[in-house]
Amino acid sequence: MRKSASRPVTPLSLEKAEIPWLLAVAIATVAPHVSHLPLWLSLLTASVLLWRSGLWRLNARLPSRWLLALVAVTGVAGIGWQFRTLLGRDAGVALLVFFMALKPMEMHTRRDAMVVVMLGFFLLLTHYFYSQSIPTGLWLLASTTLLTATLIRLHGGAQPVRAILRYAGLLLAQAIPFMLIIFLLFPRVSGPLWGLPQDAYSGLTGLSDRMSPGSLDNLIQSGAIAFRVQFSGDLPEKSSLYWRGPVFNDYDGQTWRARPAYLQRTGRAPTIEASGKTYSYVITLEAHNLRWLLPLDLPVSLPDDSALTATLETLAREPVRNRARYAFTSDIDAVANRQESQAMLQQALRLPRALDPQARELAAEWREKFKSPEQISNMALLHFRQEAFFYTLQPPLLGEHAVDDFLFVTRSGFCEHFASAYVFLMRAAGVPARVVAGYQGGEINPVDGYLTVRQSDAHAWAEIWLADRGWVRVDPTAAVAPSRIEQGIEAALPAGDPLPALVRIDADWLRDLRNRWEAANNAWNQWVLGYNPQRQREVLTRLGLKEPDWRNMTAILATLCGLALLMLTVWTLYRRNTATPAQRAWQRLCNRLKGLGIARAGWEGPLAFALRVARERPELGEVTREAAGHFADLHYGSGRPEQLQQLKECIGRLNSLRRNTV
């Protein structure tokens, strides 16, 4: 029997038909980064990939190394100049994107192709630095399928595209049991997994520790979700949904400021007298990089690692830097600080000197005419209600005497204008008062039952201290625009005022679509992104694992993974033993060729194997190509029944050729 001569091992060259798969990998893994890359880098990356695509289409030679080196040095220098460093998250990702675009320009062998594929897998992980949303997850799943399919095409030879993608999907489906087991049982870590320390919390928005005219405007015009609330029982009326955030005591004539956090704990401990009717709920708070937890006013029980300050703010021990869940119980009719310290009351009376003389004069008249703080407060609300005040997000600018300008000139503004002016009038009249910021209202999502509170629900109101009732909430905005409190901000604003499109949705089908999408996002956040150590303990406890620790979880993890592997092995052996007639015929042909000294590698597809047979044994090439074509049609495509007989005839012809070569 004649044996094929041994040949030196050389790197396998890429086929022209394999290049599009690798270019698709580069585009799929790079594309989502365009939203945060500098424009010039996105254009440069796109230009390089288009250049490479053109070279493939024209079957032209790749550029010389010196030209590629020049482009590489220019790109790296530009990235260093843009980010002032080549280290860190943003600069590092930019370098990876640029290298992914450049690598296909020097791609000649299968080894180069493997570098592109492996770089693609690594680059996929970096997308989670910027987004962990459902669309990002779906895109990464599709890209992973493409990467796996590219590996199959590189090592399995030419096959129908549908068959390659189907095989890749099957391989990934086999990994799903292991993924679920590891996700459920692998010990979780606290903190932002997909963030680096120096920039993990950038770009977070929400309430601030200061308030000046216009500071809430940007928040109110945002449709982003601030937090979601799940009540365990009945919900309060919408007009009672005041979510308490920072308390502003210090005023300089333009800006209200909250006391620093380290001073909040030095005051008198708060006393809350509950009325008996309480509401229990869990807040899923979006990251805002501050310490306020925004409970329903007023909380009577707090989550761990939080405390109530002297001004009735609920502060976490550390800033809220990732999405977190907090359980509260609140009493909306509770009495707070019936006995208050003199220092706190004096602070709630301070005003800057020589500012807003008209407002001071008006407050002095009320103080002379009315003796009780309740009457003075009612007179201020009546003033807002009877005079021509307008609620709008586009008020005129205010001057040095901001309160006077608002009360007597512009008379147009939104919640922070009314709250600020009211507190100024109360202090000028000798009534302790302060500004409270937070959120008011919220909208029930009928799909999942969660109350959704958006940034557009940001609100500011006031508190006055009464000797027999403690701190009492007063909302001056309700005197001017009661629909803001009862129905929401969209009902209170004029038609021309800007509001997010998500808030102004009128069509029922659009609102239903939004609710379903937000419910899906909420489930994703609660059970995937929010699967933290606490949630993991809750789930494992429900599954019967008492007091789970890393030892128990590791043992169960190993056991379940072993069972999953055993089941997968049994399934694979079953499929192997249930080969189709076409597979059995093809295997017989491969066995015949092995007897002639040409063994098919496990990774070789039928067409690639036939090409190799034709190169090494030309006399066997024709019958092998014909047999491979029939088998590919039968196994991967929509082959005809008669092709099975033709495949068997090829085996007979091969047997004849084998006898002639012995």
Q: Is residue 553 part of a domain?
A: no
**Distances from the Cα of 632 to the Cαs of 56, 206, 592, 629, 640, in angstroms?**
27, 59, 18, 5, 11
List pLDDT tens digits, range 477-501.
999 888 877 777 766 666 666 666 5
Same domain, 482 and 376: yes
Please indicate, yes or no, if residue 524 is contained in any of the structural domains.
no
Among the three residues 492, 514, 535, which one is the final residue of a domain in this structure? 492
Whether residue 149 sits in one domain with residue 215: no
**Catalytically active residues, by annotation:** 415, 459, 475
| Per-residue confidence band for 196, with pLDDT thresholds at 50, 70 and 90 | very low
Say what the pLDDT of residue 198 is: 42
Picking from 492, 516, 543, the residue at the C-terminal end of a domain is 492
CA distance 598 to 657: 14
| pLDDT tens-digit map of 637-659 | 777 878 888 888 888 888 777 66
Does residue 6 lie within any of the structural domains?
no
Highest average pLDDT, of 36-40, 56-60, 256-260, 431-435, comes from 431-435
Q: Is the dihedral of CA 236, 240, 241, 244 positive or negative?
A: negative
Report the alpha-carbon distance of residue 431 to residue 404 in Å, rounded. 19
Same domain, 118 and 231: no
Is 570 part of a structural domain of the chain?
A: no
Is the predicted pLDDT of residue 386 greater than 70, yes or no?
yes
pLDDT grade for 195, boundaries at 50, 70 and 90: very low
Listing from the earlier edge strand, what are the strands of the sheet with 210-211?
A: 210-211, 256-258, 242-251, 433-440, 458-466, 470-474, 335-336, 272-273
Residues 388 and 480 both lie in one domain: yes
The CA distances from residue 584 to 579, 591, 633, in Å, are: 6, 11, 15
**Whether residues 139 and 273 fall in one domain:** no
Same domain, 154 and 215: no
Q: Is residue 501 part of a domain?
A: no
**Average pLDDT, integer, range 68-94:** 90
**Quick one: which H or E segment has residue 461?**
strand 458-466
pTM as predicted: 0.71
Taking the C-alpha atoms of residue 386 and residue 407, their distance in angstroms, rounded to an integer, is 12
Q: Is residue 338 part of a domain?
A: yes
Determine the pLDDT at residue 157.
77
* 578-584 average pLDDT score: 79
Q: What is the pLDDT of residues 303-329, one digit of tens each?
A: 988 999 999 999 998 888 888 889 999
pLDDT given for residue 4 in this prediction: 42
Q: Is the pLDDT of residue 240 over 80?
A: yes
- What's residue 3's pLDDT? 43
CA–chain centroid gap for 206, Å, is 16
Question: Residues 477, 419: contact at Cβ < 8 Å?
Answer: yes
| Per-residue pLDDT tens over the stretch 404-427 | 999 999 998 888 999 999 999 999
Are 315 and 247 members of one domain? Answer: yes
The answer, yes or no, to whether residue 539 has pLDDT greater than 60, is: yes
Q: Identify the domain boundary among 434, 468, 492.
A: 492
pLDDT in tens, 35-52: 889 999 999 999 999 999
Per-residue confidence at 661, pLDDT binned at 50, 70, 90?
A: low
The verdict on 280 and 427 lying in the same domain is yes
Per-residue model confidence as pLDDT tens digits over 585-636: 888 889 888 888 888 887 788 888 899 988 888 888 888 899 888 888 888 7
Helix, strand, coil in percent for the chain, rounding step 5? 55, 15, 35
Q: Do residues 299 and 375 both lie within one domain?
A: yes
Whether residue 69 is predicted with pLDDT greater than 80 in this model: the reply is yes
Task: State whether 384 and 487 are in the same domain.
Answer: yes
Residue 187 lies in a domain: no
pLDDT-derived band at 357, boundaries 50, 70, 90: very high
Q: Is residue 562 part of a domain?
A: no
pLDDT exceeds 70 at position 194: no
pLDDT at 199 over 90: no
Q: What is the DSSP string of 488-511?
A: -HHHHS-TTS---TTTS---HHHH
Instruction: Show the domain range for 34.
Output: 16-158
Q: Are 165 and 149 in contact (CB under 8 A)?
A: yes
Element (H, E) at 584: helix 581-595
Domain count within the chain: 3
Of 27-36, 233-242, 576-585, the one with minimum mean pLDDT is 576-585
Give per-residue pLDDT as tens, 432-446. 999 999 999 999 999
Segment among 199-213, 227-241, 280-294 with least mean pLDDT: 199-213
My answer on whether 149 and 228 are in the same domain is no
Domain shared by 150 and 257, yes or no = no
Per-residue pLDDT tens digits for 498-527 = 666 556 566 677 878 888 988 888 888 888
